[in-house]
Amino acid sequence: MSDTTTDPVGSRATGAPDARTRRIPASRSKPKKNLFAGVLLAPTLIGMGIFTIVPIIGSLVLAFFRWDIISRPEFVGLANFADIALDPTVRVSFLNTIVFVVIAVTLQLGIALVLASMIQERLPDWLRVFFRSTFFFPLVLSAASVSIFMGYLFNEQFGVVNWLIGLVGLAPVPWLTTPAGAAAVVIIVYVWQNFGFSFLLFVGGLGNIPKEVYEAAELDGASGFKKFINVTMPLLSPTTLVASVMAVITALQVFDQPYVLTRGGPGDSTRSAVMVVFESAFEQLEFGRASAIGLVLMLLIMAVTYVQFQLSRRFVFYQ
């Protein structure tokens, strides 16, 4: 006779387990949980597969072909890579991009950190909210629209910026028509539009630093600057790492601002790596070459990010 027939407790006598004490064997619950998680993740995974993974694989394959969209792709081996290695425009565009990243990211993080520190100090809440919104606002604008607008502002003959410069008796600056001026405008517009994101990260990071640490530093006689160097910077280093990694990855892909403001000119002075990818693919119909350049850029981004994380072991402190 089975246990169920001898169990004196009603529900168990029929073999139905008590709902409150029901235990599902681990081997049965795991697949169900996995299925549930899979259902929830499926849309994202499918989207990533279709719109990210497949294009990446397609681009990797395409880098070894010559293809103009219309004709059949022709396998050319490493010819696209040899071609871009010899192309001075590609070399200059990568050099421009690296110089741009160094200057723009330094400015972006520097300005964001200074402003975040300033609004963290002795400001009423409503003013903090105002500044957060104001500094973040450019990020939600279309980069193309902003660049068109900025193009008018920086026009050499009729722009407001040169008009203001003229008010103090200085000669008009050829902003968009000289290599240095054009590069400066691209950096200014890019940093203005993007520093808000780093700024918000720093505001969050600063808010997480315990006040007791500052109080202890003050008891030890630390001044404002020393507190910033010895307390704020080390404790903000995880945030700085995140902000710098994201800023570098984004800046390495700069396209909109130089494309709209200067079309990469004068000469190649503001041509970025992504611009060369775009021009190769959609203007010169060399999709294989564009894929090869894109692949090199992806490797560069991965290498830079790897170096940043390696360096972070030395400079990042976790509480």
Binding site for another protein (CB under 8 A): 68-70, 87-89, 151-152, 155-158, 174, 176-179, 262-268, 271, 279, 282-286
Comparing CB distances to another protein, the nearer of 76 and 243 is 76
Does the N-terminal peptide bond of residue 266 adopt cis geometry, omega within 30 degrees of 0? yes
Six-digit token string for 47: 């989207």
Closest CB 178 distance from another protein, rounded Å: 7
Q: Nearest distance from residue 76's CB to another protein, in Å? A: 12
- Rounded to the nearest whole angstrom, what is the least distance from the CB of residue 86 to another protein in the complex? 9
* Closest to another protein by CB, 64 or 175: 175
Q: Closest CB to another protein among 162 and 232?
A: 162
- Nearer of residues 9 and 171 to another protein, judged by Cβ: 171
Shortest CB 282 distance to another protein, Å:
4
Complex with another protein: residue 212 or 283, whichever CB lies closer: 283
Backbone angles phi, psi at 15, to 5 degrees: 90, -5
Question: Of 271 and 296, which has the nearer Cβ to another protein?
Answer: 271
In angstroms, what CA-CA distances link 198 with 60, 95, 136, 156, 209?
Answer: 32, 24, 9, 31, 17
User: CA quadruple 254, 258, 260, 264: dihedral positive or negative?
Assistant: negative
**Residue 52 C-beta: closest distance to another protein, Å:** 18
Comparison of 102 and 160: residue with beta carbon closer to another protein: 160
CB of 196 to another protein, least distance (A): 27
Phi, psi dihedrals of residue 159, rounded to the nearest 5°? -75, 155
Tell the smallest beta-carbon distance from residue 4 to another protein (Å): 28
